[in-house]
Amino acid sequence: MIDRLTDAQTVGLAVVILGVMFAVGWLVRSDFGQSQGNVATGFVLADMVDPARRTSTANDYGYKQLAYEPIFGGGLITALSVPLITEFGLPAITVASVILLLATGVWGIRRRGLVAADTGDRGK
């Protein structure tokens, strides 16, 4: 039951937040498969949305992995999480995580405005 609630939360957040952060092609860029722990699902969804592969989603994913995996994908952040929580305490790490999450959201929303202004796609 909890797994289904978690999946519903992830899908809900993807639909609501990613539509705001990415002006064009938000579903393709959402990296849905990895957030579910399943990259193949993301590629199936990308193929459903873009069967002719007019977008560069697969290449973008590969380039993203070069920076993502060493830091977040079981790398630096994962290795440092327990020592940081032990050193600074769970409340401090939680506050820092929420601040980073909000900053990333604001950056994504502002980025959408800049991209939309460049393409003339504001508000769509």
Q: pLDDT > 90: what percent of the chain? A: 15
Distances (CA, A) of 17 to 10, 45, 77: 10, 18, 24
The number of C-alpha atoms within 13 Å of 98 and in the hemisphere containing its C-beta is 6
pLDDT digits (tens, 9 = 90+) for 41-80: 777 878 888 888 888 877 787 777 777 777 666 778 778 8
Does the predicted TM-score (pTM) go above 0.75?
no
What is the C-alpha separation between 29 and 27, in angstroms, rounded?
5
Report phi then psi at 31, rounded to 5.
55, 40
Q: Where are the domains of the chain?
A: 2-119
Identify whether the C-beta of residue 109 lies closer than 8 Å to the C-beta of residue 117.
Answer: no
